[in-house]
Amino acid sequence: MIETLAAQPQRKVPKLGKLPIVPIIDLTCDTTLDEQIFRGDPGSIFLGNCPPDCASAAGTVWGTLVYHGDSSICRAAIHTGAINNPGGVVEIIIKWFVEKFYGNENKGVISNEYDAPCYRSFAVS
């Protein structure tokens, strides 16, 4: 039996302008995914506001494009080119298992190699 469109249950679709607004989280130069606010499944997206001058601040970075969960989010954002040293708002996307992280230097930030698996990683844009 073929079901007509009228017989199918209607799906609730959010109206434009009614989607929830994601709060922007104030970060420090050494904030990592270890913060409680970043709990979420892979694919979870957060917005963070990085302060100025993180390129030369303390905070280790492991990886390139996808970063180890213990990496400084703001320094990784500068390394990947999402922001410059004056800071700004970045999108943080939680990733899943990565076997190895490759390091290099970019935008004045040195990223280290990490030759072990990690179950919590992120990308920034």
- Structural domains of the chain in order of their starting residue, each with its CATH number: 23-124 (2.170.130.20)
Strands (E), the chain: 24-26, 45-50, 63-64, 66-68, 88-95, 105-106, 109-110, 121-124
Residue 114's DSSP bridge partners are: 101
Taking each continuous run of H as one helix and of E as one strand, the counts in the chain are 1, 8
Greater confidence (124 vs 2) lies with: 124
Average pLDDT of the residues in 105-121: 94
- pLDDT value at residue 22: 75
- Whether 51 and 74 have beta carbons less than 8 Å apart is answered as yes
- pLDDT value at residue 10: 62
The string of pLDDT tens digits covering residues 32-90 is: 999 999 988 999 999 999 999 999 999 999 999 999 999 999 999 999 999 999 999 99
Mean pLDDT for the chain?
89
Residue labelled with tokens 């499944």: 41
Q: What's the pTM? A: 0.82
Buried b (16+ CB within 10 A) or exposed e, 46-76: bebebeeebbebebbbbbbebbbbbbbbbbb
